[in-house]
Amino acid sequence: MASENAPLLGHGVYSVVGDGDKTPRRSSRGALEDDNAKAPNAPNRKLNTFFGVMVPTILSMFSIVLFLRTGFVVGHAGLLQGLLMLGVAYFIISLTILSICAISTNGAIEGGGAYFMISRSLGPEFGGSIGLMFFLAKVCACGVYVLGLVEAVLAVFGKDPASGLVGGLRVLPQGYWFTVLYASAALLLCLLVCLVGAHIYSRAALLILLVVTGALISILISPLVVGPRTFLISHPSPVNHSQTLSYNVSYTGFKTTTLQNNLAAGYSIDYSTNKKMSFATVFAVMFTSCTGIMAGANMSGELKNPSVSIPKGTILAVLYTFVVYVILFLLVSSTCERALLIGDYGFFQRINIWPPFVLVGVYCASLSAAMCSLIGASRILHALALDQLFGLPLAPATITSSSGNPWVSVLYTWGLVQCTVFAAELNVIAGLVTVFYLLAYAAVDLACLALEWASAPNFRPTFQFFSWHSCLLGIVSCVVMMFVINPVYSSASIAMLLLLLLFLHYRSPTSSWGYISQALIFHQVRKYLLMLDVRKDHVKFWRPQVLLMVANPRSSSQLINFVNQLKKGGLYVLGHVQLGDLDLLPSDPVQQQYNFWLSLVDKLGVKAFVDLTLSHSVRQGTQHLLRITGLGGMKPNTLAMGFYDNSYPDDYFLQDPKFCPDPNGAPSNENDDFGVDLPSLQAHFGPVRDEVSPRSLSPEEYVGIVSDAIKMNKNVCLGRYFHQLHAADVRGLRGEGAGVTIDVWPLNLLRPGGSGSFADVCSLFLLQMACVLNMASGWRRARMRIFLCAEAQSEDQGWMEKEARFRELLRKLRIRANIKIVSWDVVVRLRGTGSPGSSPSQLGDLDGLTRAAQPISQEFLSEVNSVLKENSAEAAVRFLYLPRPPPASGQYQQYLAQLDTLSRDLGPTLMIHGVTPVTCTEL
């Protein structure tokens, strides 16, 4: 239990961060940590806003698109559509950035970047699936950057003259396998840097940024210095690759006619893929320049103050890159003919005052972006491995060096990137990268939207420039653009996401991160509970809402499972009373037991809530639960209990394999839910009652609970012998209860004179509950039999008319059942004819024991029990009429003894007393 002096709670279930608390704590990832190990200023957090966020974000967003695809975009799409693409792309990422800033300023961020934010906001299912998708996006992006680097190298040093450049040191052979070889070599260089650690990259990043900035400046000033010129472009023929097509292209310098010619779109065949370009394919390539907005967020584990650095650095970096791209679009559309833009990816070298400036810029930008993606992907994979969402396959990725570098996850990532370079064409995998990133951005927007809609008090981001409108618009924009770019990739990625969601959901990983689904459900349920007006209740829509009192689930698990089938979508609550006096205790012991009871509910697979209370007596505690359990229109209307007898129950935990430890002695960790494993669950619930165990409930108190419930207008169900009911026997060989019978005795069997009333409130309640069971899964094909007791030898043959009326009632109530007539003559004779002047019909109106004119003999009760066993011996379950308890507490023991004799050795039996109308014949 948390100390009242501890001011802050960490996100771990057991972690409490307090002043002076130096003891190890359990983190959200299951490992014991020292509180100082995760302090924001820990030694492994060295990067500030500029070096940790701005520099990697700028370099990732520039990468290969800036130098090698700017002309491609403007040449095919034209200036107007190019600016439109740029605007759409930055509009989408701006909405996502608002969500990133909101989430990152709402609490402490550990390693894992975007994955950490999504998982801690949406829970393990969404977090794990989106995290893996985002990891794959970074892997594919790294492959794109490496292939872009190889493309730039071959453009200068490749032997094939079709590359389009004249002169230079053309010593490198070209071809598919050579491209893969060069990409693998470049990737190996990135691997070596990343194995050393992220701090090496961050130190070199500033130098790389300076080089890239110098190359940008040379590109911007070159049109002011370099005059118009013409170039010869050569490419392999798209029809016959052995032939070469050559044509002249021009660099015109600043000209109005050039700008006018480049305004409109002119989509044509791309010389690298020999495919006709379109708005979607060009946008997919251009959007790869916008996929670096989370480069800074992915470095969250190395940032001194991630909550400040991520929003500030990301926004400044995005503004800077947007301005640069707009200027470049305007520059190239005003100075270069469309044929030059489309025919040569590396045309910036041709028109530069010193071509090596551009070469160095391309190499540095591509290499740094590849390393940044490799580092970011490895950090995401490391975070996934630490959270143990995917089990053993990712377990080695948790290994780190002495300095904290996750070198195994770096090797994992390197191996996957190596697989992507076999595509050997940048434009081929650009669409896949874009789709993956858009899906990840949509997930970030979804996380922020869910937090905003949940209205959780602890969602208080210091960044306030967002709203649910921006989050929703971001989600829609990302999803729409995914399908515009590539419907096949989009559908496949969403299908993969759903499969991962299902996998993680059924694997049921438990976490202490908080589940956004719970917050949203709470928010909506509260509103619907307010709308559920008890004044609008109608008998047509009545359903059982059961409070089942459980003393020890070891002996009553079968009854818990059976009552679960009786709820028919209604409220089902397991209640338990612990004896004690809160005045004499330091804290409420009940609060510490909820996790054990909830784990029991999960084990049994029932759809039930749990409500526990502390009281001086079981009777008083049951009254408390009947009054306060539930909320609004969802409150129990039926009390269920096990029967009070002197038999010693069996231990269900020793019979069900789910509650038995592994016979091989292997530890059972898969059932460790929220800190409650199987041994803890076994130890919490004590042994079943035996000869030496005292009973916490007296017979008088037990009958008093029944009387209290009826006074509170609650229906009562008493279950007996349900330890004999086995689910496998009920289902039968043909399933759904085929061949199984449900017997209903709708008459108070303690009434002697005549047939009495078969259609009073209690009798109809019995019929309703039997119908509910007959509609439950596993009982649908069971046959229902209704037994009517009649005096066949009596001169009064009114029972035949009552039987006919009862059949008509069943028809109106749409109850399909067989009616069985049971002779009642012997039973009536044993009971007696009553006091002088009383008729059998008058005796039939007496309510059980409470108003009977004569005492009930043991012979009578035994005879009734014999009639029940004779007619219902083969039934799976029996529904009996429970008479109202006597008003005098002195008769409680006698009442209980008579019920015991009446139901002895019957098998699974439910004795019911209904006080509320539950049936309706109207439509």
What φ, ψ does residue 912 adopt, rounded to 5°? -125, 135
Which among 305, 803, 144, 876 is positioned nearest to 565, based on CA atoms?
A: 876
- State residue 108's pLDDT score: 66
pLDDT band at 204 (very low <50, low <70, confident <90, very high): confident
The yes-or-no verdict on residue 422 having pLDDT over 70 is yes
Report angle CA 344, 347, 352 to the nearest 5 degrees. Answer: 170
The one-character DSSP state at 344 is -
Q: What is the mean pLDDT of the segment spanning 710-719?
A: 95
- State residue 262's pLDDT score: 93
According to CATH, the topology of domain 541-662+671-829+854-913 is Rossmann fold (3.40.50)
According to CATH, the topology of domain 51-507 is Amino acid/polyamine transporter I (1.20.1740)
Q: What is the mean pLDDT of the segment spanning 328-356?
A: 89
- What's the N-to-C CA distance of the chain in angstroms? 54
Question: What pLDDT digit, counting tens, does each position of 217-232 carry?
Answer: 999 999 888 888 888 8
In which residue are the tokens 């940024």 written? 209
pLDDT band at 35 (very low <50, low <70, confident <90, very high): very low
Minimum mean pLDDT among 216-225, 563-572, 654-663: which range?
654-663
Instruction: Give the residue extent of every domain in the chain.
Output: 51-507, 541-662+671-829+854-913
pLDDT band at 757 (very low <50, low <70, confident <90, very high): low
Report angle CA 572, 573, 578 to the nearest 5 degrees. Answer: 165
Taking each helix axis from N to C end, the angle separating 468-485 and 70-104, rounded to the nearest 10 degrees, works out to: 150
More confidently predicted of 498 and 831: 498
The yes-or-no verdict on residue 6 having pLDDT over 60 is no
Minimum mean pLDDT among 367-381, 490-504, 728-742: which range?
728-742
Which among 651, 724, 662, 743 is positioned nearest to 690, based on CA atoms?
A: 651
- Tokens standing for residue 209: 């940024």
The yes-or-no verdict on residue 348 having pLDDT over 70 is yes
- State residue 615's pLDDT score: 93
Which among 148, 195, 177 is positioned nearest to 406, based on CA atoms?
A: 195
Minimum mean pLDDT among 244-253, 491-500, 552-561: which range?
244-253
Q: Are 99 and 447 in contact (CB under 8 A)?
A: yes
Report CA-CA distances (Å) from 804 to 405, 593, 744, 920: 84, 54, 17, 19
- State residue 847's pLDDT score: 43
Q: How far is it, in rounded angstroms, from Cα 683 to Cα 681?
A: 5
Question: What pLDDT digit, counting tens, does each position of 133-169 carry?
Answer: 888 888 888 888 888 888 888 877 877 544 444 445 6
More confidently predicted of 832 and 647: 647
Q: What is the mean pLDDT of the segment spanning 495-510?
A: 79
Q: How far is it, in rounded angstroms, from Cα 637 to Cα 691?
A: 35
- State residue 318's pLDDT score: 92
The one-character DSSP state at 167 is S
Q: Are 144 and 433 in contact (CB under 8 A)?
A: yes
pLDDT band at 295 (very low <50, low <70, confident <90, very high): confident
More confidently predicted of 638 and 148: 638
What φ, ψ does residue 79 adopt, rounded to 5°? -65, -45
Which among 479, 429, 137 is positioned nearest to 285, based on CA atoms?
A: 429
- Pairing mode of beta strands 32-33, 546-549: unpaired
**Sign, Cα dihedral of 420, 423, 426, 429:** negative
Question: What mean pLDDT is reported for the chain?
Answer: 80
Q: How far is it, in rounded angstroms, from Cα 417 to Cα 138?
A: 9
- State residue 672's pLDDT score: 52
Q: Does the pTM of the predicted model rise above 0.75?
A: no
Q: How far is it, in rounded angstroms, from Cα 138 to Cα 142?
A: 6
- State residue 848's pLDDT score: 40
The yes-or-no verdict on residue 415 having pLDDT over 60 is yes
- Tokens standing for residue 692: 């030496």
The yes-or-no verdict on residue 733 having pLDDT over 80 is no
Going by C-beta distance under 8 Å and a sequence separation of 6 or more, which residues neighbour residue 503? 129
pLDDT band at 23 (very low <50, low <70, confident <90, very high): very low
Q: How far is it, in rounded angstroms, from Cα 861 to Cα 448?
A: 67
Report CA-CA distances (Å) from 359 to 153, 164, 184, 682, 902: 8, 15, 20, 69, 97
The yes-or-no verdict on residue 844 having pLDDT over 50 is no
- State residue 505's pLDDT score: 74
Alpha helices, DSSP H, located in 198-288? 198-225, 256-261, 279-287
pLDDT band at 893 (very low <50, low <70, confident <90, very high): very high
Q: Are 641 and 719 in contact (CB under 8 A)?
A: yes
Q: What is the mean pLDDT of the segment spanning 369-394?
A: 84
Q: How far is it, in rounded angstroms, from Cα 655 to Cα 377?
A: 48
CA dihedral 741, 746, 750, 753 (to 10 degrees): -120
Which among 571, 922, 916, 566 is positioned nearest to 771, based on CA atoms?
A: 566
**Sign, Cα dihedral of 411, 415, 420, 421:** positive
Q: What is the mean pLDDT of the segment spanning 442-448?
A: 85
- State residue 12's pLDDT score: 39
Q: Are 373 and 410 in contact (CB under 8 A)?
A: no
**Residue 642, beta-bridge partner list:** 719
Q: Are 629 and 714 in contact (CB under 8 A)?
A: no
- State residue 837's pLDDT score: 33
Q: Are 884 and 847 in contact (CB under 8 A)?
A: yes
**Residue 609, beta-bridge partner list:** 573
CB atoms within 10 A of CB 820: 15
Q: What is the mean pLDDT of the segment spanning 79-101?
A: 91
The yes-or-no verdict on residue 818 having pLDDT over 70 is yes
- State residue 547's pLDDT score: 96
Q: What is the mean pLDDT of the segment spanning 864-892?
A: 91
The yes-or-no verdict on residue 327 having pLDDT over 90 is yes
The yes-or-no verdict on residue 638 having pLDDT over 90 is yes
